[in-house]
Amino acid sequence: MSPSFWRGKRVLLTGHTGFKGSWLALWLNELGAKVTGYALAPPTSPNLFEVARVGETLDSILGDIRDPASVDAAFAQSKPEIIFHLAAQPLVSEGYQDPVGTYATNLMGTLNIMQAARHRPELQALVVITTDKCYENAESLHAYIETDPLGGHDPYSSSKACADIAVASWRRSFFSQPEHAGVASARAGNVIGGGDWAKNRLVPDMLRAFAVQQPAQLRHIQAVRPWQHVLEPLAGYLLLAEKLCFDKSAATAWNFGPELEDCVSVERIADQLVQVARLNPEVRFVGLDASPAMLECAQTTLVRAHVSNVELVQGDMTRLIGLEDGCMDGVICTMSLHHLPDHAALCTTLREVRRVLKPQGRFYLVDFGRLKLLRTQRFFADDLRQPPQFTEDYFNSLRAAFSVEELSAAVAPLGPDVQRHVTVLAPFLMVFRSAFQRPMDWNALEVADGELRKKLMRDGQSLLGGQPAAQPLPATA
């Protein structure tokens, strides 16, 4: 794409008040194009058109593509050299509620645009945006290519397929000569990005649910979609329009989407959003410990690390006094359970955990496991790199630990989806947790861990004891 190509170009952009249209308007403005926008008023409140003050970057005309006279007037005013036709009824759900209106906008509105374009001698390129849902759904696993049959089971998809067929007909019938403008259709879908407030779309729906702390309603979570950031297809539209001005062989239908390996399920996208939300610094944590000395040490560490969203409380984990029923989204317990005196206290503690968790709350429990032989306990505790007192404390913890069977029985009441992980060969470490509702992104966790380490270091010194941070144990340890 050549920025110099766009400088001073007269561009008519339909749908400039929508999500993708607003982004394209801003981009064209940055490229130096003279843009006229034609669309209905913004479809949502809030909306990107108003938030980003898109109206200040172009000549905005409010009009309806279903009105041929209004469309003709906009063409006469803008005298476009290039047209991007994005105006549409873009939602599958709305297609079911108003199928006739959907066809009127997506098919007849497109015909009005193309018919008006026939009579503009200055026009060089027309790019009509349809959708990747215009194909006949054969329920197969292969990725659709441009020559696959068009169709669509629902009114929205079918209306877009009709529009794509009409584009091909107008191209062959009225734009077939070398002196005519190049006409192409661009098929893209599952576009995500900032400024999308539409209903019944995955990312906006989830963010709205997060804002009010309510479960998000997901549809077809196993469906694999070609997700792409809004700027990716827009870059393709710009490149296609530029190409059409010089090479009429580009006048055909084009798919715009990610590589096959980047096509992922609805569930995975939702899970990644959940991970981001849980890393939000506005999340409130409550830290509980029975030892005033440990709490004092923790408070010092929090202050030095500039962490302000943790409340420290002295208390007994067998009686979570002050915590109401169902008040916690999650409970994490690390290396604490082995301090309990007996199995009865363990069961009491985990009943308290269940009490304070919300119905959909999650938990993560990690602790030592009891080893059968004393010499095995000593083997895992001994480490010449650590102070002797730490080795002795480690040894005593291993001796006090509960067995795999005891912990399994105590954790069972927390729910049927409990997952257990135990170190191989000897159960010296055990993890019990709620079943993941998302795949773990270990690369993201490594990045987050690296950022956290930077925050916890001052002048090369760890906040833990003023010594350089310990290196991780080798894989063979």
| Cα–Cα distance for residue pair 454/465, rounded to 1 Å | 16
> Is the pLDDT confidence value at 412 over 90?
no
Q: Where in the chain is the domain with CATH 3.40.50.150?
A: 316-437
Indicate left, alpha or beta for 195 from its phi (over 0: left) and psi (-120 to 50: alpha).
left
Q: Where in the chain is the domain with CATH 3.40.50.720?
A: 3-277
> Is the pLDDT confidence value at 473 over 70?
no
- CA angle 60-62-67, nearest 5°? 135
Q: What is the pLDDT of residue 445?
A: 43
- CA angle 362-363-369, nearest 5°? 155
Confidence category of residue 386, pLDDT binned at 50, 70, 90: low
- Residue pLDDT, tens place only, 301-317: 666 555 566 777 888 88
Confidence category of residue 401, pLDDT binned at 50, 70, 90: confident
- Amino acid in position 241: A
Secondary structure of 42-57 as H, E, C letters: CCCCCCHHHHCCHHHH
Q: How many residues can be counted in the chain?
A: 477
- Residue pLDDT, tens place only, 3-39: 899 999 999 999 999 999 999 999 999 999 999 999 9
Tokens of 350: 């985990």
Identify which of 441, 401, 439, 445 has the alpha carbon closest to the alpha carbon of residue 422.
Answer: 401
The residue that leads in pLDDT, 128 or 473, is 128
| Cα–Cα distance for residue pair 290/295, rounded to 1 Å | 8
Q: Are 9 and 34 in contact (CB under 8 A)?
A: yes
Furthest-apart CA atoms within the chain: distance in Å: 92
Identify which of 132, 133, 88 has the alpha carbon closest to the alpha carbon of residue 110.
Answer: 88
One-character DSSP codes across 370-430: --S-HHHHHHHH--TTS-HHHHHHHHHHHHHPPPHHHHHHHHGGG-TTEEEEE-SSS-SEE
| 286 strand-pairing partners | 311
For the chain, percent of residues with pLDDT exceeding 70 = 78
- Residue pLDDT, tens place only, 264-310: 676 666 665 555 445 556 677 777 887 777 777 667 666 655 556 67
Q: What is the pLDDT of residue 367?
A: 85
Superfamily for the 3-277 domain: NAD(P)-binding Rossmann-like Domain (3.40.50.720)
| Cα–Cα distance for residue pair 412/410, rounded to 1 Å | 6
Q: Which CATH number fits domain 316-437: 3.40.50.150, 3.40.50.1980, 3.10.129.10, 3.30.1330.10?
A: 3.40.50.150
| Cα–Cα distance for residue pair 7/29, rounded to 1 Å | 9
Q: What Å distances lie between residue 468 and 75, 299, 459, 462, CA to CA? A: 69, 20, 10, 5
For 323, the 3-state DSSP assignment is coil
| Cα–Cα distance for residue pair 177/179, rounded to 1 Å | 5
State mean pLDDT over 351-356: 91
Q: What Å distances lie between residue 255 and 132, 173, 227, 291, 331, CA to CA? A: 7, 23, 13, 62, 46
Identify which of 169, 38, 375 has the alpha carbon closest to the alpha carbon of residue 49.
Answer: 38
| 332 strand-pairing partners | 364
| Cα–Cα distance for residue pair 260/263, rounded to 1 Å | 5
> Is the pLDDT confidence value at 402 over 80?
yes
